[in-house]
Amino acid sequence: MTDQERSVVAEAVDPLLARFPGVATKDERRSYSGYLVAADRLIEFATALRDELGYDYLSSVTGVDYLPEGKWKVVYHAYKTSGGPALIFKTQVAREDPRVPSLVSIYPGADFQEREAWDLFGIHFAGHPNLRRILMWEGFEGHPMRKDWKEPYFEEEAKPFKSRWPEGNVSRSEDASPFRGNFQYPPGFSPEGWVPEADSALYAGVGRVSASAGDNGRSLETDQIVVNLGPQHPSTHGVFRMVVTLDGETIVDLQPVMGYLHRNHEKIGERNTFLMNMPFTDRLDYICSMSNNLGYALAVEKLMGIKPPERAEYIRVLMVELTRVVNHLWAIGFLLNDLGAFFTPALYAMEERELILDIFEATSGSRMMCNYMRFGGVARDLPEGMFERAREIVFDRLPRRVDEIETYLTDNEIVRGRSIGVGVLPAATAIAYSAAGPVLRASGVPYDVRKADPYSIYDRFDFNVAVRYGGDVYDRYLIRIDEIRESLKILRQVIEGMPGGEIQTGKPQYQVRVPAGEAYGRVENPKGELGYYVVSTGKPTPWRYHIRAPSFINLTAMGEMCKGQKIADVVAILGSIDIVLGETDR
């Protein structure tokens, strides 16, 4: 945040500081920003924030474990959907028996995020309607993101591990675990005898209902039934489960269950050095590794106070926008798969994706796990011929192919019949549930981080924020086509304006010095707003490394979208949200 931005925010909130004397104070620590709010007045503060100041969008909620000080902080990032920088507010509680009021009643989008903070940190959100574990399994012992919690293969607090050099006693970590696997049990636990009790909470809503009286005046007594879609179900795009309560074919309630691919990415990130996290970010949303890289690089660059050279900025935007095209092609292809058009549209879309992945492979060395961005630049320059190839694809091939996909699908009566009016998410609900990206914009909210809070060099390019107003599956399909067109517009400007010169600020270093402080780097990922909240204490490893994952948070509104719909539409609605489980489960 620049000083100017900070003063804009301060001006807006200072009346609030005056309104809540002694409750809200400025976070005065060096390189920190935002406001500290007393936990018992948090609800009041947040309500005023939303209703009086227009911060209607709660982007991120996360905990930070300040172990040496014996404190927890819960950090909130709120935005206005009309644009502008974040308002950060924090609340602080003692480490023993941490209790914070839940904000779900004000910002329903906090639901899953607070559950995540409870699950991983053990912070109790009082008043949360459904405070259960979300990523870990129900029998899990402890809260893994706490700084004093150690994982099964624990070696040391931070990498690099001393056993690697110079003695180098090679061993397989698998052999070190007494259970010969990546897990540990609480004392006295027997996996054979365990009954997952918490699952019964998912089925609590099931009951007997009376259907409305028919023509003969008699009502029909029916049982609701529960259908478990997943975790092994082809339409869930991975290991994801939806517990659907049905009345006949109509959905009464839907609860997403996730965490099957959970690996505690954030804990790994807090053992890693800053640079080591870069290849791990590839593995979040593995369709869009380039834009994951960018978000992380931006967060750390904010802390370091450096900027990449001009050419690197252009290459970054080139790669990130190509990634957006890749992702949307993929999303459209697989949405059609979910609608029953088995693989022909998906493979047409994937042909184009292959050509873009060829550019990624030649430039970064890998098709999907690109690991391409560095702090203050990119890893290497575009190899010979790749710029020309990108030009040919962007100017010549892709526009024709996008038109072809539109001819192929947009007017198709089956596609329209299956998707128009299905899974409608009204604008107000989308904002309240913190939906992001195409899901938010298809509901008529023209919010795009590239315009609302420009990063990198997006303020230089001429493009429109795609917006559609229906909020249904069909509009979420159309908006992705629109966004591919807008991305191509940006790409043409990037290719025309690509300057020469350096691609890295300073000398490439494997051990970067990151000054103490906090930073929130957010980018408009193809799936929505991706945010990295990084806290540094000046050490080689980040103290806190949190990811605001769009795939995860967009699922908060999934239940809302599905209520009252037919069971067969769940698959289409999930496909239209476009999740990647690598990012959802982290």
343 binds other proteins (CB under 8 A): no
Residue 380 as a binder of other proteins (CB under 8 A): the answer is yes
Among 383, 497, 501, 564, binds other proteins (CB under 8 A): 383
- Of 205, 234, 305, 365, the one binding other proteins (CB under 8 A) is 365
Question: If binding means CB under 8 A, how many residues of this protein chain bind other proteins?
Answer: 57
CB nearer to other proteins: give 17 or 261. Answer: 261
Residue in 219, 222, 410, 464 binding other proteins, rule: CB under 8 A: 410
Q: How far is CA 112 from CA 421, 452, 472, 480, 584, in A?
A: 26, 25, 22, 25, 11
Q: Measure CA 229 to chain center.
A: 22
- Binding segment for other proteins among 202-210, 220-228, 350-358, 474-482 (CB under 8 A)? 350-358
The pair of three-digit structure tokens given for residue 494, joined into one six-digit string:
């990037």
* Contact present, 176 and 154 (Cβ < 8 Å): no
Nearer to other proteins, 292 or 434 (CB): 292
Give the CA dihedral 521, 312, 460, 323, nearest 10 degrees: -70
Q: Does 216 bind other proteins (CB under 8 A)?
A: no
Q: Six-digit token pair at 231?
A: 């975790």
| Residue-level length of the chain | 586
- Among 26-34, 402-410, 482-490, 576-584, which window interacts with other proteins (CB under 8 A)? 402-410
Question: 526, 323 in Cβ contact below 8 A?
Answer: yes
- The number of CA neighbours under 13 Å toward the Cβ of 118 is 23
Helices 398-409 and 344-364 meet at what angle, rounded to 10? Answer: 160
Does position 539 interact with other proteins (CB under 8 A)? The reply is no
Among 47, 82, 130, 163, binds other proteins (CB under 8 A): 163
Q: Does 434 bind other proteins (CB under 8 A)?
A: no
414 binds other proteins (CB under 8 A): yes
Tokens found for residue 263: 């690996």
Encoded one letter per residue, x for contact with other proteins by CB under 8 A and - for no contact, window 288-317 reads ------------------------------
Q: Which amino acid is at 586?
A: R
Among 276, 465, 495, 567, binds other proteins (CB under 8 A): 276
408 touches other proteins by CB under 8 A: yes
The amino acid sitting at 303 is: L
List beta partners, residue 528: 525
Residue 7 burial by CB count (10 A; 0-12/13-18/19+): exposed, middle or buried? exposed
Min CB(512)–other proteins separation in Å: 11
Please name which of 247, 197, 244, 194 lies closest in space to residue 224, comparing C-alpha atoms.
247
Determine, following the binding rule CB under 8 A, whether residue 361 of this chain makes contact with other proteins: yes
- By CB under 8 A, tell whether 397 contacts other proteins: yes
Question: SS3 of 319, please?
Answer: helix
Chain residues that interact with other proteins, rule: CB under 8 A = 159-161, 163-170, 172, 272-273, 275-280, 344, 348, 351, 354-355, 358, 361-366, 369, 371, 379-380, 383-384, 389, 392-393, 396-397, 404, 407-416, 508, 510-511
